[in-house]
Structures are given as C-alpha cells and as structure tokens.
Structure 1
Amino acid sequence: MTPRLSPGFARMAGRGSLYIALALQALGALFFVGDLWSEILGLRTAPIPYEWQEIIQLLASLGLVIGLVVSGLYLRRSQRRVVELNRQVDVASGNFSQHLQELFAQWDLSESEMSVAVYAMKGFSNGEIAALRGTSASTVKSQMNAVYRKSGFTSRGQLISCLVEELFEGVALPGETVERARVQMSLAAR
C-alpha cells in the first residue's frame, strides 16, 4: 500500500521544490554572471584551476537545467489548477448549464440525448419526457440507454448523482477543508 500525502504537505513540498529550483537557477546564474564580470573587470587575482572551473560550470549548468524543468512542471500544474478553479467559479456563478454542455460534449451526446438527459435530471419520467418532446416513450427509453452507455452510468440515479457532485465539487462541510473534501470525493469515485 502506497502512503498518501496530505494535500497540505504535498502543496508545501511542491512549493519547497520550486524554491529549491529557483535557488539552483540563481546560483547558476550568479556563477556565470560573476565569472564573466570578474574576467571583464580583471577582479580575479588567482586563476581557478581548469578542472575546478569545468566542474563548477557543469554544476551551475545542471542547476539551471534542473531549475528550468522544475519551474516548467510547477507552471504546468499551476495552469491546470487555474483551469479547475475557473470551472468551479463558472459553476458557482450560475454557468452550470455551460458546464453541463461541456460534460455532455465529453460524453459525445447528440442534441436529443442531451435534451432527454436534462429532462431526466429534472425528474420527469420517460412518458412525461416523451409528451414534452413529442416522441414515443420507447424512443425516450432508447435515448436514455444511449445516455447511460456514453456516460458510463447504469441508472438515472447515478446520472443525477454525478451532476449533483459536479455542482458541489470542492464544497467543504463545516470543520472540513476544501482540500480534504476533494480528497474524500476522489476516494469515493474509486
């Protein structure tokens, strides 16, 4: 069993690695700039042995590359987090229908399947949906089966639960942090 890090510890470790990467980049840049200016200004009184110079340049270059890679990974993770936060803001600010359209597009639902799914989420029976759409109940039933197949759910209750969870994703209960709520939701999804 793999030990799981708490979200707070993982966030702190992520920040720590970013600071280490920045420090490595700063040291590497300081070496190269200092070396250049000490030669230009003639400040170096005793030359550094060639072997030492090569080792120091190699370590400084390695520090710059490591810093670049870690910074890039941190930037990519931050961009993903911004996308997720924007999605949550859209949902919270009333753009839930836009979020539903994106979810339906991921499931590759047709227009009629989307319509039937929305009516089902509102609590209408197949017969009521058929009357509202001017189709037969068997057509609605086959469209609902297509929605279940494409979404990966097996019942109307699961479909509605998924959409309610999407609406409340990241909402913490009293005495609970948002990070803990997300971890519990991800564990429940397994």
Structure 2
Amino acid sequence: MSKLRSYLETIVDVDDADWNYFSSRLIKREFPKKNTFLKTGNVENYISFIEKGCVRLFIPKAENEKEITFGFCLQSEFVSAYDSFLTQTPSLYQLETLIDTTLWSISYADLQDVYRKTKIGNTIGRFTAEKLFLIKSRREQSLLNESAEQRYINLFHDRPNIIKHIPLKYIASYIGVTPQALSRIRKRIY
C-alpha cells in the first residue's frame, strides 16, 4: 500500500487523516497469472491500483486468435473497466492478469464516500480520469494516423516495460496487426 501512497503524493499532498480514511476502504486483491477477474456482462465495481503485475483489457471472441486486445495496465498504474465503473452497467470487455498480480481496489460506493469526505478525493479522481482519457485518446489517434510500425515503435518508447510482460500475440492485436505482420515489423526494425 506504500506504493499507492507514494504514487498519490506525486499528484497531491496527502495528509495522514485523508490517507487513513482512504486506505481503510481499500481491499487487497491477489490474482494468479491468466486470471480473468472481470468478465463481459459483469458490472465493474472497482478501480484498482496495480501494486505488482500486469493486466490486459480485451474483447473476447469465440476463437481466441480473434480476441481484440486494446489496453495494458502495468505496475503503479490504475486499472478498471472504467466506463462500466462510472455508469455501473455491464462491461463489454474483460480484464485478465498476464502475470501474478496484486491490486489495491476501492469500490464504487466507497470511492463516492471518499470524494465527499476527504480533501484529496476529488483531486485524485479527476487526475485518474484525465490520465485514463489521455491514454484512450492517444491510442485512438495513433490507430487513425500512424502506421503499424510506428505504433509498435511508439508503444515501446512510451511504455518500455511492456515487452517484459506481454506476449507478442497481444501486442500484435493491440497495434492492430496479425502476429505474422508484427514479426515482419520486428525484423525490419531490429
């Protein structure tokens, strides 16, 4: 939990009273590798900070090779099916751990309470929402304006730790190409 406090203190000064109130509502959740902890059709009830691990956001398909990976969240990042969380409606996609993962999670109801009763709640909520929006916006613009090769290069420039944890088939899906096309891109680059 100390990683979460350190991360939050890069955003806003966190006094002990606010931290104690906020942290008392956190739930530690641990998942093994390849665990789908939010399935399509379920409502996302948590926003979580990844203490350690890696999570993939994807749209499942009948054939696993056709699944669409559209996001990754790594250690010291927040993860959620955020649209489902905000609207409290069923998720259209799934969240899956790629390695053993530890999350510090807060429920929707508890987060609303933190917003009302602490000085830091709204600032943290706004910052998190803005960060998630920017990630989504950059990805959309990248898909519309850049070649697959440039998307691959940018991914590792912006998030170099991805190669350590994420299988190439998921990276291929994320940048919008087949695994074979990604192999050709990698040969040209390296």
Normalising by the smaller structure, the TM-score range is: under 0.3
TM-score (norm 1): 0.27
Larger Rg over CA atoms: 1
> Higher relative contact order at CA 8 Å, sep ≥6: structure 1 or structure 2?
2
Higher helix fraction (1 or 2): 1
Higher strand fraction (1 or 2): 2
